[in-house]
Amino acid sequence: MSSMLVDNIGELVTNGAGEGPLGIRRDAAVLVEEGRVVWVGPSAYAPAADRRLDAGGAAVLPGFVDSHAHLVFAGDRAAEFAARMAGEPYTGGGIRTTVGATRAATDDELRATVRRLRGEALRQGTTTMEIKSGYGLTVADEARSLRIAAESSTETTFLGAHVVPAEYADRPDDYVGLVCGPMLAAAAPYAKWVDVFCERGAFDVDHARAILACGQAAGLGVRIHANQLAPGGGVQLGVELDAASVDHCTHLSDADVDALAGTAHSDGSGTRTVATLLPGAEFSTRSPYPDARRLLEAGVTVALATDCNPGSSYTSSMAFCVALAVREMRLTPAEAVWAATAGGARALRRDDIGVLTPGARADLVVLDAPSYLHLAYRPGVPLIRQVMRNGVTP
Ligand SMILES: [Zn+2]
């Protein structure tokens, strides 16, 4: 059994016991054995270990948990982005462009894209990344999308209900039947979660409820894309179905916020549903940002994720999302870093990641900076000096 001591940490974000909401410890060390954190304490009292990683006085934080990403696709939509920046509105219709390219791609082409983007995110400090299907939209293409996603993540999500594909445009009920029937059956062995894009132009609340209920019955956890482009019933549907997360939350009514704010109690009542905000999407579609302060002040648990996808948010950088959240959504830097680590873990119903406390997975990043504050203070700068995942430095 080999142990590794990460010591000489100037500022350690634990998201556990310590100073402030991030559980900060100064002059700290972390002992790692068998891929787990086994001890956290002052550097001066650190136990001996087989190997040592000297943080050189820099900040160390839990690896980012990106709980919302669409990595299984082919082609790119740079021209659509350029047109949008020149004034065309975002409607979500471009998803069908990617569906065509994805269906035409080979398994190896899709696999290469997933690996490239997963590697890109890992180098930027993302140690856990959820990966959705949703650009195949046939039984075979959704199943292979999830099979390929499962090679790179255990957090895989069946999003057969991303849009109604063109061949079902005039009979959406039939498509919902396909999703709930043979497509779910083919996808479920490779999926942990089921998700629906609940939005005008995609799936209405009744269709979303039917699909999520089928997924739940097949043993999948629920997540939902809701209230991104307009108000609607998606957020309340997510809370009703005990979704782990409702994602986007850009257009919320008071009733939506109240539903999300019903705090979880030990007797099982209240909501455990997290609001996951995806500011990369508002950035890349030049749309108004969600009112994050309203959620935080109501006591809602907020996560941040990239929504990495080729249409509306082609970034894999959680640090960029932290900077956007601080600058554009008025999160404090501490709130944003918590949302990008512990918040993402809650959105995946995980308690072994997003924290650096004994028992947690040894997923951490060493910054090229003395404090987590620099993630928002120095936007666009590559501040991730070293990444450890499962106790291993790749
Ligand atoms: Zn998405």
How is residue 258 written in tokens? 């109240």
What's the confidence (pLDDT) of residue 267? 62
How is residue 34 written in tokens? 């068998």
> Which whole number is the average pLDDT over 315-327?
98
Dihedral, CA of residue 327, residue 335, residue 321 and residue 134, to nearest 10 = -140
209: left (phi over 0), alpha (psi -120 to 50) or beta: alpha
How far is ligand 1, taken at its centre, from the CA of residue 91, in Å? Answer: 14
Q: What's the pLDDT tens digit per position in 50-89? A: 999 999 999 999 999 999 999 999 999 999 999 999 988 7
Contact indicator for 221, 194 with CB cutoff of 8 Å = yes
**What pTM did the predictor assign?**
0.97
How far is ligand 1, taken at its centre, from the CA of residue 35, in Å? Answer: 30
How far is ligand 1, taken at its centre, from the CA of residue 312, in Å? Answer: 9
How far is ligand 1, taken at its centre, from the CA of residue 19, in Å? Answer: 34
How far is ligand 1, taken at its centre, from the CA of residue 283, in Å? Answer: 14
What's the confidence (pLDDT) of residue 394? 76
How far is ligand 1, taken at its centre, from the CA of residue 285, in Å? Answer: 13
How far is ligand 1, taken at its centre, from the CA of residue 49, in Å? Answer: 42
What's the confidence (pLDDT) of residue 91? 67
Model confidence at 93: pLDDT above 80? no
Closest CA to 62 of 366, 385, 368, 363: 363
Confidence tier at 268 by pLDDT (50, 70, 90): low
How far is ligand 1, taken at its centre, from the CA of residue 77, in Å? Answer: 15
What's the confidence (pLDDT) of residue 2? 87
Contact indicator for 128, 65 with CB cutoff of 8 Å = yes
Confidence tier at 94 by pLDDT (50, 70, 90): confident
Q: What's the pLDDT tens digit per position in 96-141? A: 889 999 999 999 999 999 999 999 999 999 999 999 999 999 999 9
How far is ligand 1, taken at its centre, from the CA of residue 190, in Å? Answer: 19
What's the confidence (pLDDT) of residue 271? 77
> Which whole number is the average pLDDT over 259-287?
85
How far is ligand 1, taken at its centre, from the CA of residue 242, in Å? Answer: 19
Contact indicator for 62, 29 with CB cutoff of 8 Å = no
Pairing of strands 59-62, 364-367: antiparallel
What's the confidence (pLDDT) of residue 95? 87
Q: What's the pLDDT tens digit per position in 186-208? A: 999 999 999 999 998 899 999 99
CA 355 to chain centre: 16
How far is ligand 1, taken at its centre, from the CA of residue 131, in Å? Answer: 10
How far is ligand 1, taken at its centre, from the CA of residue 68, in Å? Answer: 6
Residue 368 DSSP class: S
Above pLDDT 90, what percent of the chain?
91
Kind and range of the H or E run holding 64: strand 64-66
How far is ligand 1, taken at its centre, from the CA of residue 69, in Å? Answer: 6
Half-sphere exposure of 85 (CA within 13 A, CB side): 10
